[in-house]
Chains A and B, each alone.
Chain A
Amino acid sequence: MNHTNVTLRVNEVDYPISISTERNLSGVLRETIGLTGTKEGCDDCECGACMVLLDGQPINSCSYLAVQAEGCAITTVEGLADGDELHALQRNILEAGGVQCGFCTPGMLMSARALLDRTPDPTDEEIRIGLSGNLCRCTGYARIIDAVRTTAVELSN
């Protein structure tokens, strides 16, 4: 296994680390850097729990090599709030009842953030398609859709 020194920039903080070149980004975020908000549900791009943003683009971090993320701005769920103030998506998903077990929530929030960044005023269909890579077993999805819609309106005002 080849080790290499890289600096990963996560939530606007630089982390100089030494890692094996074959490690995936989710594992490095969770185990090496210690940000466990990003979840791992399948290790195969099937569930979306590990979704993070790479320069604003949503990726399944379970299937992305950590070394390839050097030089990118990585955003995880820990970087979504502004200090102690929750992001509107975080607040609205709670108020809508869109959180149950919470395991899919970090990935869901990151996909929703990416969706709203590129499509500030999404239709319901655009929300459904935009978040269809994030599996939730608890909610039936409707309350998550409500939260994204509410947030879009709130942010556009």
Chain B
Amino acid sequence: MQTFVRADGPDKVTGSGRYVADLSLTGMLHAKFLYAGLAHGRIQNLNVEPARNLPGVLSVLTAADVPDIRYSPVIPDRTLFAKDVVRFEGEILAAVAATTPAIAAAAIELIEVDIDPLPVVNDIEAALKGDCLLVHPDWEGYDVSGDTVRDGNVASFSSIEKGDVEAGMRQADVTVTSRYVADASHAAPIEPRGIVAQWEGEKVTIWTSSQVPYDARAGVCETLGLPSNRVRIIVPHLGGGFGGKCGFHFEAHIAALAKATKRPVKLVFSREEEFLAPDRRREGMVVEITTGLTNDGDILARQAWVGIDNGAYVADAAFFPQLAAMHVGGPYKVPAIKIDAQLIYTNHQPSGSVRAPTAPQACWALESHTDELAAAVDMDPINFRLRNVVRTGDEGIAGQIYEEIGLDRCLQLATDSIGSPTLADDEAIGVAVGWWPSFAAPAGAYAKMQDDGSVQIITGAQECGTGAVMTLRDIAADELGIDVTDIQLVYQDTAAAPTGPGATGSQTLLNHGRAVESASRQIADQLRELAADELEAAASDIVLGDGKAFVTGSPAMSVPIADLAATAAGGDLLLSSASAPMPDWPTVSAQCVGDQEMAAWLAPQFSCHAVRVRLDADTGVARVVEVHTAHDSGTILNPVGALGQVEGGVMMGIGQALSEGTYYDENGRQTNPALLEYKLQTMADAPPITTQFVEINTPNAGPRGSKGLAEAPNVATAAAISNALAKLVGGPLRQLPMTPERVWEAATEIRGRR
């Protein structure tokens, strides 16, 4: 493979790159939303006439002005604008388009709104009680697809069951029961989302800060009743996403305003809106887990309950319970297991896929519990894990037999890397393992070689910052034997490219990469045929490299690829299209109720993170001193990009561990929707991070034996920090994030018990 070139780099360092907020169109209006402002209530009065009468206001829309359609991927439980009832504080009541942002904001203030408060479902365990009011009294009337199991405030239930848990617990020498509670958190990309919509005739073009242009298009089509060919989504540079910009958000509201005003309309979120309004909050979670084991440290049985705070609407979260169950079960050999997991409606902001959804919290709970297990049988936590983790050929918790995997090697490498440094009294080392599936999905690509021998690749992939899209150029260059700078990508435009998942689920390389590989290979085959004629050799003997086609073993017999391209331009053009073939899906033997296809894991990724943490016992302030990671994500194609994913994922994990928690007041409203109160890690907090890759050329996965990588580094860090802190305070930390106050309280409480 050739050296990685970040084609969008110069745009980004010079300021010439355009993000949505940088776009401006002639006649453009500015949009603002009116939000509910309270978590649960019945709308008694909504009078937008005073806003409509304000000079400079061209449109005010409410539920009455758009098609009455319920949407969402699996459980269609919401509408674009609140109708009758509001179920979380960030729910939209009205949208204004005006000539300036200031006039739009003034118009919002003029809207008369009267909402009768209803009792707030503010806690998942309260939501499960029989007398709790239902967040969606009409839940049975929703048109749900798939095998989703629901009941009242339980929006989605899944269980994984294998073997005889009761017998396993009876045989166990020791059982350990733990309870862990994780707060919600946020993706918090630095770019607040923006949207510009413009109609020309019956077609609308929407520039949006989306990770998933095709999902955004589907949402617009569904909610506004439009066919796909009338909606074009373009994403300019995207300022980070981390899952927060997956799904369909506010594109339809802005398209509707643009339609009503016959003008382009722009929306740019404030930081507070970014915290309160999207349906992509990382979910709060409660985990209760019991494990039975022998005195020798063998796990015999595991039983767990997982409660997940869904918030007011399901968004894409229907699969969360099954995925969380897999993470609470963990990458271990567990002969008998039963895990029940519930996605529970509350009056909080909706949860949705943020980088490795459910995994950091569930891994934190499981891996903290695992250190408790090791302690219960007086074993070193690393040795305990080495004894119990799944290895090549082992059966996982859902009964899947794993082909070649590198978890044990990750564990060995990361713990060897951190070694046994001399620790001060206020320091400790913590270790955790994590895992994550690779998601295969349909994706296509076009390729065309132009008359000068350069190549255009047209892909539905979406660059969100990872650089994974740039790696697609490397794959094409490698297939075609030309320089990577001669590959041009056309992407982030639904009018140009075939469909694909976009930047979601670590899928860029896995799915778009396979399509690009296949489309490029077709052009390479055509080049070999042309060269075979030219060089009077068999096509199978032609090799492409260094911009030339040559006969294998006789490099002197060659023809420049550009010459072949010029010849082709006069006749049979060098064009191709390809779909990524769907890999064979693995099977599981466990009984899966409420199956959401999250128990059988294609090409699972594994990791081990080892951290050294320093704790100021007087204040509870923890600092991560160093992080050592090892990852099995298959073959690594873009080392700089891969390292960047691990380092960024670790840093996000440190934030989740120590400072990133969303808090709610007694009325179900977020108390810290700002970056000073919801604290991301800064450069001053950044520890050195080492990374080693266990490169297993994985069949039935991504191009060249690769697997996904963007989410996996975000799984195990918080758990490793938790295990270090547990050593320092003398017992497990039961709440995430492990803020100074909580660490100090835990230490004080544990000291008091002694």
Contacts and interface: CB of A to CB of B under 8 A. Distances in A.
Interface of A: 30-31, 35-44, 46-47, 49, 76-78, 80-81, 86, 90-91, 93-94, 97, 99-106, 109, 127-129, 131-145
Contacts of B650: 140
Nearest to B676: A46
A106 B684 CA distance: 19
Given A36-B15, A77-B15, A97-B640, A135 B682 contact: yes
Nearest to B465: A101
A103 B191 contact: yes
19 contacts: A30-B22, A36-B15, A39-B239, A43-B271, A77-B15, A78-B14, A78-B16, A102-B12, A103-B19, A103-B190, A103-B191, A103-B237, A131-B683, A136-B190, A137-B190, A137-B240, A137-B652, A139-B651, A140-B646
Interface in B573-627: none
B219 interface: no
Contacts of A36: 15, 18-19, 21-22
B6 A41 contact: no
Nearest to A31: B24
B188 interface: yes
Given A86-B10, A97-B643, A102-B465, 13 more contacts: A39-B19, A77-B14, A91-B13, A94-B6, A94-B13, A99-B13, A101-B189, A137-B652, A139-B644, A139-B648, A140-B647, A140-B650, A141-B647
B271 A86 contact: no
B686 A142 contact: yes
A103 B647 contact: no
A47 B190 contact: yes
Nearest to A42: B271
B684 A128 contact: yes
A37 to B, nearest CB: 2
Contacts of A131: 683
A44 B686 contact: no
A134 B188 CA distance: 14
Given A47-B675, A100-B465, A102-B8, A138 B644 contact: yes
B641 interface: yes
A147 B644 CA distance: 14
B689 interface: yes
Contact of A101 (B15, B240, B676): B240
4 A-B pairs with least C-beta separation: A37-B15, A101-B465, A102-B12, A103-B239
Interface in B684-715: 684, 686, 688-689
B683 A100 contact: no
A27 B333 CA distance: 57
B11 interface: yes
A100 B188 contact: no
B32 to A, nearest CB: 14
Interface size on B, as a range, is 35 or more
Contacts of B684: 128-129, 132
A49 B21 CA distance: 13
Contacts of B192: 40-42
A143 B647 contact: yes
Nearest to A35: B15
Contacts of B239: 39, 101-103
A136 to B, nearest CB: 7
A49 to B, nearest CB: 6
Contacts of B242: 137
Contact of B686 (A100, A104, A138, A145): A145
B45 interface: no
Nearest to B23: A36
B680 A100 contact: no
A40 B9 CA distance: 19
Contacts of A41: 190-192, 271
B17 interface: yes
Nearest to B239: A103
Contacts of A138: 240, 465-466, 644, 648
A137 B648 contact: yes
A125 B19 CA distance: 32
A61 B348 CA distance: 34
A101 B641 contact: no
A46 B189 contact: no
Q: Which of B18, B19, B644, B674 has the most CB of A within 10 A?
A: B644
Contacts, number: 164
A109 B97 CA distance: 35
Given A40-B21, A103-B240, A106-B15, A46 B271 contact: yes
Nearest to B188: A137
Contacts of B238: 101
Contacts of B16: 37, 78
A92 to B, nearest CB: 10
A43 B13 contact: no
A90 B12 CA distance: 9
A38 B683 contact: no
Given A103-B191, A127-B683, A145-B683, A42 B675 contact: yes
Given A103-B19, A131-B683, A134-B683, A140 B648 contact: yes
Contacts of A135: 190, 675, 680, 682
Nearest to A27: B101
A57 to B, nearest CB: 19
B240 A139 contact: no
B467 interface: yes
B686 A97 contact: no
Contact of A46 (B466, B674, B688, B689): B674
A99 to B, nearest CB: 5
A116 B703 CA distance: 42
A139 to B, nearest CB: 5
A88 to B, nearest CB: 11
Nearest to B238: A101
B581 to A, nearest CB: 30
Contacts of A141: 647, 651, 682-683, 686
Contacts of A78: 14-16
Interface in B256-285: 270-271
Contacts of A104: 190
A109 B674 contact: no
Contact of A44 (B8, B240, B640, B674): B674
A78 B22 CA distance: 14
B475 interface: no
Nearest to A38: B15
Contacts of B24: 31
Given A46-B674, A97-B640, A101-B190, A109 B683 contact: no
Contacts of B683: 127-128, 131-132, 134, 136, 141, 144-145
B300 interface: no
Q: Which of B9, B10, B647 has the most CB of A within 10 A?
A: B9
A18 B363 CA distance: 56
B189 A137 contact: yes
Contacts of A132: 682-684
A39 B12 CA distance: 11
Contacts of B648: 100, 137-140
A103 B686 CA distance: 19
B304 interface: no
Q: Which of B9, B190, B682, B684 has the most CB of A within 10 A?
A: B190
B524 interface: no
A141 B466 CA distance: 14
Contacts of B643: 97
B464 interface: yes
B491 to A, nearest CB: 15
Contacts of A46: 271, 674-676
